[in-house]
Structure 1
Amino acid sequence: MSLASVWSEPDLDAIGRQTGVIRVEHSVHHSAYGTIALPLAVFANGRGPTVLLMAGSHGDEYEGQLALTRLIRSLDVTRIQGRIFVLPAANLPAVVAGQRTSPLDGGNLNRSFGERYTDTPTGQIAAFIAEELLPRCDVFFDLHSGGSSLRHLSCSYADLGEDRATAEKTFAALEAMNAPLSWAQGGIPAAPVAGRAALRKGVIHLSGEFGGGGALNRADLRVAERCTWRLLDHLGILPMAEEWRAPVSTRFVFNEQAHFTYAPHEGVFEPAADLGEEVQPGQPAGYLHRPEYPGEPPVPLHFAAPGVVAALRAMGRCRPGDCLFQLLGEIPRDEILRRIGALA
């Protein structure tokens, strides 16, 4: 027999309710045989699909962490038809520190899913998720928020994939989640994000942004919980309660590079638009001031594309390259369906 550097104490393939940890070896001066213990819950019963619900990829994104923690406490395994893996604090060192990246290695878990995995705590967590959990799954729902640096409108997100069958199933799940903003993206960013690992494994990838600003917002938490329960109901794994059944009005949106506004230099950012506001190209986005040089005039910033302000910087001071705004452009539902129909 051989020992592993990362292993799950719950049996990933067993029937029933299990709560325990995934252990990641972390040998340091004060603990030669130490481990990082990531909380994991496994619920399996009957016949049905498998879904991975994950939050805490970034430690300062709180709505998803609490939504999944509540789900673990309340879930009755006898009502399930299928299997649910729940990782409420996926990058535990970052979660405990309340920061985006791990204090152990500086690792950003959602940027650690490339073709190869680093031999670091964050890299090993990514490897276990990608190579042990995702191959057992049909659907992956990864909950995010804007974190400490951004406030984000609540929205669900879907990587439609590159083939028609996957896109149709993914879009159906996105619609079922019924968030106020339903963000359907035709191509996943060319970055080592978790969604790329899911698509490599043939797993439907769904995500969402629910609040931010380094604090917990009750309204955004409710949207995160609603999307989670409605997804489980749509998959046939677990019927949702009546409180989640009433539909809400949703707008379908997309994202492109022109939707971002970045800081050209260091300074204090004064926004000229609010979260949720509709803006047009050329409209003032804000101003960058440098109080350390009070005689200098502020630098005006302008939006490059139309859209709704979906994310707004939550920190006053910024550095060159910091994201100040992200817009989302509205797209008709029929246009999404037309693009899906054009896929092979």
Structure 2
Amino acid sequence: MSKGNKMFPIWLITIAVVVASTQAQPEVNFQCKTENATCRSITEYTNPNTTTLKEIATLFGIKHYLDFLGANNLPTNTQNSYKVSPNTVIKVPFPCKCNNGTGKSNHVPKYKIKPGDGLDAIARTRFAGLVKYQQIQTANKIVDANNITAGDTIWIPLPCSCDKVDGNSVMHYAHIVESGSSIDSIAQEYGTTQLSLLTINGIKDPKTLEAGQLLDVPLPVCNSSVKSDSIDFPLLVPNGTYFYTANQCVKCKCDSINNFMLQCEPSNQKPINNWSVCPSARCSASVLIGNTTSTDSCNRTVCDYSGYTSSNISTVLVTQNACAVTPSSGGGDSDSGASRSILNGWVWNKLLVLIHSLLFFVYLL
């Protein structure tokens, strides 16, 4: 066969087309209909190289390291030097604000342009395709996308939302579709429904889902007693995670095996911001947040966290049903999810290497 008339195998061409389709996804904006609403949101992030939690936290401007650990359900004593293997999915929390019908990260993260950087490379490489260069250009009012200055600091507008879904509070999660995924498998993994995914992402045909596509995934959160006038309202804690609130004085965790009821307790951490010590967090002289005061075959009365102000922490006695436990969803098992993410990333990388090698081999024939 002459080099000027090569015929590639059909299966090889097909794979190459699939690979190419992951590189050219359109801009994505998450709908957020409540004007000026603010909330906590979350995005996934993968780095093709070995990195550390500190490097990721610095890149995304995470102020409270414990929030970062909680989003990934890592032990609170995990050091920021913790090594993150290539292509491991890490969940990054950030503040979200809604404006003009869409949600964007509330002026974080900020990125300092380095010599040789281009907007497209910043979007695709540094921030793993979570945002397109055109969105960075618009958010920062950059006239010429090909003319940026090293040393300047720009805002990376990550997509997010604060909207309820089907009348329920959720935490919106920016998820990049992996090769081989489907709307059904994503819905099962993260404890939502196919209809919800299709509706909030404006997808008419689930068969059009592509690898590399950015999806708005509504993560179920635990029910809480936090009042609407609390500084941390709405307190959104997804299944299989924990969160420090009330200036780091209270730790709340969500687990579906507890009937999706938020479980809060004193954090035993040093308070932050303007508090030198943590205020009292009791329902009575002898009953702390998280204590059970009475229980029967199905119900228990608990001293629950109900919010905080600039000077105090509020509590309330609530009765929780301990019998009708909701089965754990796929998104609740953070360890198995992480293992799947690591495996899928490894397989995909090896597949790309194989494709390149085969193409080169065919060229030599």
TM-score by length of 2: 0.26
Q: Greater strand percent: which structure? A: 1
Structure showing greater radius of gyration is 2
